[in-house]
Chain A
Amino acid sequence: MASFMDILLSIIFGGALLLIILTATTIISENAATTYGDRLVQESLLAISQRVEGEFRNMGFGIPDTQRVVVLAESTRVKFRIDLPPFGSVDTLTYFLGPTSELSSTSNEEDRYLYRQISGQTPEPVGVVTRFHLDYINSEFETIPFPITSDSVQRTIQEVEITLEVQNPEAQFRAVDSVATGERNALYSSALWKQTRLAIQNLDR
């Protein structure tokens, strides 16, 4: 009888502990997936910002005074002249957003490629972003209103404000009853990077 009771209690305790472990494992897995997703997003953002910031900082390098540096200044597209390594020739570098339809295979309906194009070469994707926005600032520290089309206005650009957002392409879906009106029906890991007032030394000459 005593042995029977020992076995019974062991089964109860063991079962309870097993249940705890299984629950903990599930929670840990979910958290790990979220954390890993966050980190993936951060890595992606860091990699993109590294390139964007590095090249934007050097905008106009090696360009004679007689040439305009910023050729095209739009909110999601910029084209500028720069002498990229290997040095010695003037290149035209363009950053622009691709359409969301290119990444329709992902759960995230807002992600799209950010492209980088050197002179007339084929554009290459720099990364996947959900937001890429540019503002242009003049020497009076005023944001220049769009459209920035005239040559004289483009020459006044001294600084650029860059906003980049990257979201996880895969969703963590939500229960339908937890989605409020206007909200997306899924959660995405997201990281935002904003370089306010990136001073471009080569424009300040």
Chain B
Amino acid sequence: MFSRVGLEGNRCHTVYGLNGVEILPTKICLAYGYFTKVLSCQEVWHILLVYIYHYVMSCNVEQYLPIDDSPVEEVELIVHLKMTAQQGRRRSRGRGHFLPPQNVEFVITTKEGHTLHLTGFCLTDLDECHLALQQSKLVLRKFHAHDGHINPMRRNHSISRIHMHFPSTKFSLIEGRSSYAYSIDEDGFNDVADCLEFFCAELNIDMTGWQPYLRPY
């Protein structure tokens, strides 16, 4: 079974045989692009076949953790399932709702029936984007586009402007003093829709049918 097939820049895509995860065409193309740079044609076809028969999951966060820490198993099991997004109701502009700029909210359902929340906003003054995927109190992933993140004890430093936070057994997301993040290739983001598109591709979230809100930001 493959554990990892391609690595380009700071971003990785890992192949695991995890039951219940479906393949998205975009993922296959993405993986194919990576393979051609590091492997021969025969190997590419071989891997592609295995890839089709097995399943794709996004970045294996274990590689970014020091030896004395580990990923949160419960989180990793959920994050690597196929997910579907539906627009949520949290962002309705009721009177007295104190909302950040360019806010979005989705209810995410996994193939195994977990209900998650994806919320996001962009700080337009700072050209920054923040997205968070959570299950009740448990925060599974946070996607950030801003400078200055520091990993706990400055491990695996430095972290690029665009990065993904994940919880570990020692450093949870949100409630702790800090959390680990891994760097993602810098592509630049114009607004929250760009960030969402990237985040959903990274985590295998199907958000077909969603269109950016038409109101001016």
Q: Do A and B come from one complex?
A: no
Which residues from chain B sit less than 8 Å from chain A, CB to CB? none
Query: Which residues of A approach B to under 8 Å, CB–CB?
Result: none
